[in-house]
Structure formats: C-alpha cells, structure tokens
Structure 1
Amino acid sequence: MTPARWVPLDGSPAAIESFTRALEGALNGGTPVLPATTDSGPLGDAGGAALVIATSGSTGRPRHVLLSAAALRASAQATAARLGGPGRWLLALPAEHVAGAQVIVRSLLAGHPPAVLDLRPGFRPDAFAAAVAQLPAGRRYTSLVPTQLARILDDGGAGLDALRSFDAVLIGGAALPAPLRAQAGAAGVRVVTTYGMSETAGGCVYDGTPLDGVTVELEGGRIVLGGPTLADGYLGLPEETATVFRDGRFRTSDLGRMVDGRLEVLGRLDDVIVTGGEKVAPAAVEAVLTAQPGIRAACVVGVPDAEWGQVVAAALVVAPGADPAAAVAAVQASLGRAGVPRRVRTVAGIPQRGIGKPDRAAVAALFHPSR
C-alpha cells in the first residue's frame, strides 16, 4: 500500500519550494504527493501515482485524480515541443491545482525550479511584474486564467510590460472571450489557449489542436480524449473510474465540435439548457455576448420556468455606457430565438470557483425570485 504524502500549501514561495522538492522525488519514484491547503486525511493506496490532485468539479463531491510520473512527463514534454523548447517558468497559479502543479513539473524537466508569485495577498499586476523581474533572460513561459490576464491588461504599466516578455502565456481554467484574446494580441501578448483537466494532466489541446500523442474524438458531441497524458483514474472510486476511463480514453463531461480541424469547446454537457424543447449551449451564447461592444464578461445559465421548462439567463459585466439590450439582440441574430437570454442581470464580476472557473450555481442563484 502506497498512501500519498500531504504537502500543505498556503500560496507562499516557501511552501512552493517544499512542494517542488517533494514532487521532484515523486517523479523519480518516491512517495506520491498530494498538494492541498488542508489535510484530506488518510486516502488509501495511491498505487503507481506520483501526484494526487484533489478536485471537486462542478458537483462539489471530492475526487482524487491519480497522475503517474509518466503522464506528467509526457504532458510537460509535449508542451515544450509545442511551444518551441524548454524554458523558464513563472508559477502564478495555485499549485494545488493541476495547472499550477504542471508549471512545476515543466520547470523540473527543464532543469530549474520556477520563479514563484506569492499569491497570499491575492493576484496583483504589480506583484506579477516584480516576480517576472526575477526570471533570468531566455525563453520564458507562464500560465494564467482569463481573470488574471484581464487584470494585467486593464492595469497596463509594468505588469503588461512583464507579460509581453513571455514567449508564450498559456490561458486555461475557463473559456477565453474572443475580445479579451484580441485585446491581448493587440497589446503584444503571445497567448496560447489550453483545454484539459486534472484527468489529462492539465492542458492537452492548445489553440484547438491536440498536443503530440493526444487524440480528440467526439461521441454524440461529447469530447473524448486519449493519449499518454491520461490519469490512472480516481482514488477509491473504481466504478467511476471504469465509467469514464475506458479503452485508453477519457470521456469528458464537455460538449464540443470541430471547426476547420480545431476543437471548439461548447461547455459542459450538464450545463446545456433545454428551453421549449430546444438545446442551447451556454458557451455559444456567452461568445456572442462578449463579442459585443462593452460586454466585458458573461455567464449564461438555465433557470426554471413554468412555461418553457428553462429559460436562458445571463449575468453580464458591462462597461460604462454599454447597452446590454443590444448585446442580447445580437444573440437572436446569431443563434436564433432559443438562445436569447430572457433574464439579464448586470454584475460587478462573475462569481468564480476554483482557479477562474465561472460559478454557474452562484450565477443561477442571482435569478432566484427572492434575490
């Protein structure tokens, strides 16, 4: 029996240094490690895993993903090959999430630990710039979520100058609105969008194209991934493991389609809204809304309705002077009547969970009659 060793994390550079040493040992055949902010207690046999990542997904039910050293190495090596070679990394994400842990793995395989942004005060563009200043010259990479990217772009100054110095800025954790990507490109930031999850050792599809060795298939619209980066399964959940990990492939909970040979992610299957018998993918509505002038962010959910079963509802972050009604009208022109938000609320920011993922349950609660 090989239980994982808990490595406590608090966002500090000292805690990251301790985790980096433990992870390096695990990659070389040592004790599996579980990075987390709180002790999960005894976990049972981690088998041949090197890293155990705790993830609740959208259901809130704890699961522990088992990632082997081989899967972690395959992901890191494929990333280096796609980006043009190994480089020095800045860790600006929580290391208890797979995206943060993989920054450390990539750094270790490149031969040096990452520079670390202290996240205890929260993410600040000025602190980001100071952390980047500690990186030696040469190829530079970092990984951010869209919210972090938006804050740096809005702040400008030293943070934006620092961001421009990276050879690639991986953006994942949530969908990147097209206007935000365009803004980043116009500012000289080299953005690469990533799609993946803990079960695939992090991002495995970059800018819609799978990394070397990774396969992407669609089964009834469901995205199915394969290749050497797949996890071994879930600790202590053999039935769930057998359901989603089959024949060397992982059946995601995401809906997608291929557009000009590239994968376009349309959101989670269980987020699909059925209104009046028609299915609406929230991501498609969000894409139209955020493409309109002055709509800085959008989160679309289905809320119960006595007549239609569900109706489309949208929470919008709106710039001063922008017209939400015009944005809603654009949805009908692009997607038809079924996709039009029947209920709209403007908010200061989209509620989030994890590292930058929209909290759709919290957004749906905004439309509860008592609110």
Structure 2
Amino acid sequence: MTRPYRVVDARRTREVFAALREALSEGGAAVVPRNVGADGALPSGAGGGGGAWPSAMERAPQNVALVIETSGSTGVPKRVALSADALLASAAASAGVMGGQGQWLLALPAHYVAGAQVLVRSLAAGTEPVVYGDGHFDPLRFAGVAGELADDLRYTSLVPVQLARLVDAAEGGAREVGAALRRFDGILVGGQALDRGLRERAEALGARLLATYGSSETAGGCVYDGVPIGPTVVREVDGLLEISGPTLAEGYLGDPERTAAAFHEEDGVRWYRTGDLGEVRDGRVIVRGRSDNVIISGGEKVLLDTVERLVRSWDGLGDAVVVAAEDPRWGQVPVVVTTGSAELAGLRSLVAEQLGRAAAPARIVTVGELPHLSSGKPDRIAAARLARGDADERPGA
C-alpha cells in the first residue's frame, strides 16, 4: 500500500499545517515541506513531472506521513520517512514531560523536523499555532508574536542562537523580551548543545528551558535534559549512542543501504545508530559530540564538539564555532571562528589544561557575522572556509 506525496513550500506554514492535518488524521498525501527559492516557485518535479524528487510517478509507503529532506553532515541528501504513529508518539511523550498539551509558537522553519513537530504537537493538542514568519530573527518581533498566545499552557522551540539573541536583548534593557521569555511554560532548545552559561543567563531571566537531543530519525527531540522521554530507550555501544522507541523513522526513502547502516534490529527491538559519541550514566544520556567531528592532531584524537563547548565558556566567545583546519606539521588543528575576541594564549592554556595540548586552538578567526543555516544552526562548512589559510605552527608547542 502506498500514498502520494505532497510537496509544500515550507514558508507557507498554514499550508504545511493543513497538509499535516490531512496526512495524520485523514490519510492524506505524505507531506514534504521544502525550502524553496526566493521566487516562491517549487522546483520542477515537485508533485508532478520534471527531474526533481518526488516525481508524479513516485509514492510513499502508506504509513509515512512526513518526509524531512536533509543534507546531513556529509552533504549527501537524505529523505527521512516518518510515520504518523512516530510523529504522534513524539508529541505525546513531549506533552507528558512538559505538563500537558498547549499552544505553540513556531519560530523555526517548517522543513526542519523541529519546526514540523511544533505543527504536529499543535495538531495533537487541538490548538492553533502562532507563527513568527520569515526573515531575520528579531527579539522584539518575537516578543510581539508571543503576546498572541492565548492558551493556558504556552510553548515554543528554539535553537541556541535564537535564545542567545533573546537573552542579549532582555539583558540589554528590552523588558518586553524578558516578559516574553517568562510567558512560556516551556521552551525547548535543541539543534546543538546548549551552553551552560547561556542557560544560566536565560533561567536567571525566568525562562523555563528544556535542552533537547534527537534528530529527524527520531522524530525530533527524544531526550530532554539528559533523560529519555516516553518509551524512548538510549544505550551506548562501543562509545556510540543508539536509540529505540516508537518515534524512530521508517528509514531513508530510496536508500536501502543507508537505512540498513543506520537502523538495525536486535532481539526483536529496532535501534537507530546515531553516530554520536556518548554514554548513559545512571539513566542520564551524556552526548560527547559527533563521531565524524573528530580530528587527529599530532597523532592525538581531538573531539571538536568538546573543544567548542569549553571555548564557549570563555568570556566573549559564547557564539564560537570550532572547526578543523589543515596544518603542515600537525595534520589538522582546531580553529575558533567567532564574532568575539579573546587572548589566544590564555584560551589555549585553558583548553590544554582540561583537554590536552592537541585540543588547544591554533588561532582565532574573528568575523563580522557567523554563517548560519536556515535552521539557525551554525553553518560549519562555511565556517571552515573562513578558517582556511596557511596554518602556522602550533603556538607554544
């Protein structure tokens, strides 16, 4: 049994919302929210003819309600197929942790799983989402939109860079932004690790945060503040995290080899190999970083995600991105790309003391603005381009 696809411009949020309602409750076409060009035209082949996927001849498995298209860390496109059961199981688990169903403010693109799940949670709750809309994320505009929420329970989902802008504005004297942060009964923060300092600043303003961990393959966040939600189970296998539970995707459409590599069954239980380094300690999930975001510098393994978390604790480097750069002596070295500034020797000393000399950044590249993806996550490929150049020998080595 199959069903047709329906490609929808992700910027037309109300259309995505309506299409998801049909897909979840009425057996409508599987929804493919897509980030389209500035002219608003869908690519040729979107729903009929042409060379872009899906074509009019392609159909989705009957149980698939949503397809999230993502390039992944390698840049190779993935089409993550999520069933109605997985999406609704995720919404139910989230509501169980957050204190009940409520009204949501959508401030993320609908073609990313975190944005799409805001719409799914709204459908599950029977509430109408309030939509921030397109354009640069502006704290004052966010505060105004937050004021439109009318339900007893109010929620939103953000990425750290959005939260940082809200906190900066509130601390800078924008009282309405601080009031907006306090207006929410829960703010999910995901997409990347939430810096401890940023969290403390936000909570000092009265924000109620939940740091989430998950991916498109798990229908969004399935671990809140280190604890798996609902029936989700997380385990560590050979240093890598694996996840099981009802929110897992069906796999990758048209890519059986990648599906087999990422999903496997053991003793009747289906598991997803996340590719993330981590462990489970006393029931809490500790994520170290991506297994593919590791370099070998002078023969030593360096986890760039771990270096980045430590670098961001340095005053003025809260937005820093740590990327790899080629080095003629060491092979590869960590480089900090940031809009801030810091004294390199002191930063190197801090990192070397806690993580070892190989992890100490070789240099700091200061830019006017950090590159970001439309999801709000840092564009690490673009940041790596900014960091390129003739690498000096590691200072102080």
Alignment partner of 1:329 out of 334, 345, 349: 349
Answer yes or no: is 1:145 the counterpart of 2:159. Answer: yes
Q: CA deviation at 1:258?
A: 3.5
- 1:170-189 to 2 correspondence within 5 Å? 170-189=188-207
2:388 aligned with 1:368:
yes
Unaligned runs of 5+ in 1: none
Corresponding residue for residue 394 of structure 2: none
Equivalent residue in structure 1 for 2:86, among 62, 68, 71 = 71
Tell me the secondary structure at the aligned position of residue 101 of structure 1. helix
Q: Tell me the CA shift for residue 343 of structure 1.
A: 2.4
Q: How does 1:135-284 map to 2 (within 5 A)?
A: 135-156=149-170, 157=174, 158-247=176-265, 248-258=270-280, 261-284=283-306
User: In the alignment, which of 19, 22, 26 is matched to residue 19 of structure 2?
Assistant: 22
Greater mean deviation of Cα atoms: 222-231 or 354-363:
354-363
Aligned alpha-carbon RMSD (Å): 1.8
Aligned to 2:7: 6
Q: Distance in 1 between matches of 2:345 and 2:190?
A: 29
| CA displacement at 1:273 relative to structure 2 | 1.3
Moved more, 351-360 or 220-229: 351-360
Given residue 302 of structure 1, which amino acid in structure 2 is its aligned partner? A
Is the CA contact (8 Å cut-off) linking 1:256 and 1:264 kept in structure 2?
yes
User: How far 1:198 moved relative to its partner?
Assistant: 0.6
Please, what TM-score do these two structures have when normalized by structure 1? Answer: 0.93
> Amino acid of the residue matched to residue 144 of structure 1?
L
**Secondary structure, counterpart of 2:288 in structure 1:** strand
- Kindly provide the amino acid, as one letter, of the partner of residue 279 in structure 2: R
C-alpha contact 1:296 1:317 (8 A) present in aligned 2? no
* In the alignment, structure 1 residue 341 sits paired with structure 2 residue 356: no
Aligned-partner SS, 1:366: helix
SS of the equivalent of 2:90 reads helix
Once the two structures are overlaid, the 10-residue window that deviates more, 292-301 or 177-186, is 292-301
* Deviation for aligned residue 1:311: 1.6
SS of the equivalent of 1:104 reads helix
Q: Please state how far the C-alpha of 1:203 moved relative to its aligned partner.
A: 0.6
Contact 2:263/2:271 (CA < 8 Å) preserved in 1?
yes
Count of residues in correspondence between the two structures: 364
* Contact 2:295 2:324 survives alignment (8 Å): yes
Letter in 1 for 2:275: S
TM-superposed CA distance for 1:234, in Å, is: 0.7
Alignment of 1:344-355 (within 5 A): 344-355=364-375
Question: Cα distance 1:354–1:273, how it changes in 2: closer, same or farther (>3 A)?
Answer: farther
Cα distance in 1 for residues equivalent to 2:94 and 2:151: 20
Change (3 A) 1:328 1:370: closer
User: Per-residue displacement from partner, 1:48-98 (whole Å, max 9, x unpaired)?
Assistant: 200111111122222111100000000000000011111111111111111
Which residue in 1 is equivalent to 2:39?
none
The 2-side partners of 1:190 and 1:140 are apart by 11
CA distance in 2, matches of 1:265, 1:136: 36
Residues 7-36 of structure 1, C-alpha deviation per residue, up to 9 Å, x if partnerless? Answer: 1232xxxx2112111101100122111111
Specify the SS of the correspondent of 1:135.
Answer: coil
Number of the residue aligned with 2:116 = 101
Alpha-carbon separation, structure 1, partners of 2:373 and 2:308: 18
1:46 shift after superposition = 1.3
User: SS at 1:311's partner residue?
Assistant: strand
Q: Do the aligned partners of 1:4 and 1:31 also contact (CA within 8 Å) in 2?
A: yes
Please report the TM-score for the alignment, with normalisation by the length of structure 2: 0.87
Q: In the TM superposition, what is the alpha-carbon distance from 1:165 to its structure 2 partner?
A: 0.8
Q: Structure 2 counterpart of 1:34, which letter?
A: V
Residues 182 and 325 (structure 1), Cα distance of their counterparts in 2 relative to 1, 3 Å cut: farther
Q: What SS is found at the alignment partner of 2:319?
A: strand
